[in-house]
């Protein structure tokens, strides 16, 4: 669905996008995935790679692509879970935080709110994050519209936005590596372990 948004909104030309020709998780081609999930097949030649074919799509746990991150305004995170009400964040969400990038999160409804409950800041002061409240059928389209709007900014506007985002990006990076976030996770783990006894 997100790839369709990139293709249909002409966002492939000025953006760094990786997308394999075969899903590394399901082992299916894009054509078969589109059939399985009743999604229109995007009109694009695959694979799309921003990393010279190092297998990045299957190694999302790696913190690399520093040069690409430095040349990007926003990191679009396509999380593992999208459908339903599951609250599930993986290393994919935390990668732009470690890379010190602002992000848009394509995940289950309420994922930005879930992330904020952990003390992270999102970017609702800078763009419309109401996509986080949209249902599964419209959330990706809303993200696509947001990306199209951001892509349409002038270089001067993008530079100004990047500067304005820097305090939030800095906060998230510091919070991720900080003692308070670690303590919060440790307390949460201990509470879960008590429930399992």
Sign of CA pseudo-dihedral 6, 22, 65, 168: positive
Task: With respect to residue 25, please indicate whether it lies within any of the assigned structural domains.
Answer: no
Task: With respect to residue 162, please indicate whether it lies within any of the assigned structural domains.
Answer: yes
Task: With respect to residue 140, please indicate whether it lies within any of the assigned structural domains.
Answer: yes
DSSP 3-state of 19: strand
pLDDT over 60 at 117, yes or no? yes
pLDDT more than 90, % of the chain: 73
Task: With respect to residue 7, please indicate whether it lies within any of the assigned structural domains.
Answer: no
Task: With respect to residue 22, please indicate whether it lies within any of the assigned structural domains.
Answer: no
Domain holding 81, by residue range, is 60-196
Task: With respect to residue 39, please indicate whether it lies within any of the assigned structural domains.
Answer: no
pLDDT over 90 at 179, yes or no? yes
pLDDT more than 70, % of the chain: 94
Q: Model confidence over 55-107: pLDDT tens digits?
A: 544 556 667 777 888 888 999 999 989 998 888 899 999 999 999 999 999 99
Task: With respect to residue 89, please indicate whether it lies within any of the assigned structural domains.
Answer: yes
The answer to whether 74 and 103 have CB atoms below 8 angstroms apart is yes
Stretch 123-133: mean pLDDT: 98
How would DSSP label each residue in 159-184?
HHHHHHHHHHHHHHHHHHTSHHHHHH
Beta strands in 67-160 (DSSP E): 75-78, 103-106
34, 97, 108, 143 from 105: Cα distances, Å: 21, 12, 9, 9
Average pLDDT, the chain: 91
What's the whole-model pTM score? Answer: 0.88
Peptide bond into 47 cis (omega under 30): yes
User: Which band of pLDDT confidence, cut at 50, 70 and 90, is reported for residue 196?
Assistant: confident
Task: With respect to residue 184, please indicate whether it lies within any of the assigned structural domains.
Answer: yes
Number of domains in the chain: 1
């Amino acid at each position: 669905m997100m790839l369709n948004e990139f293709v249909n909104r002409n966002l492939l030309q000025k953006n760094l996008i990786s997308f394999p020709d075969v899903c590394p998780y399901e082992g299916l081609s894009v054509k078969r995935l589109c059939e399985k999930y009743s999604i229109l097949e995007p009109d694009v030649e695959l694979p799309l790679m921003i990393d010279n074919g190092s297998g990045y799509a299957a190694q999302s746990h790696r913190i690399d692509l520093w040069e690409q991150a430095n040349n990007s305004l926003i990191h679009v995170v396509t999380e593992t879970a999208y459908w339903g009400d599951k609250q599930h964040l993986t290393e994919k969400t935390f990668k732009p935080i470690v890379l010190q990038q602002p992000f848009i999160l394509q995940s289950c409804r309420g994922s930005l709110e879930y992330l904020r409950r952990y003390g992270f800041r999102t970017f609702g002061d800078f763009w419309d994050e109401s996509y986080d409240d949209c249902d599964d059928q419209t959330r990706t389209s809303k993200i696509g519209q947001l990306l199209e709007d951001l892509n349409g900014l002038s270089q001067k506007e993008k530079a100004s936005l990047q500067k304005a985002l820097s305090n939030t990006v800095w906060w998230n990076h510091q919070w991720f590596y900080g003692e308070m976030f670690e303590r919060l996770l440790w307390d949460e783990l201990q509470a879960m372990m008590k429930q399992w006894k």
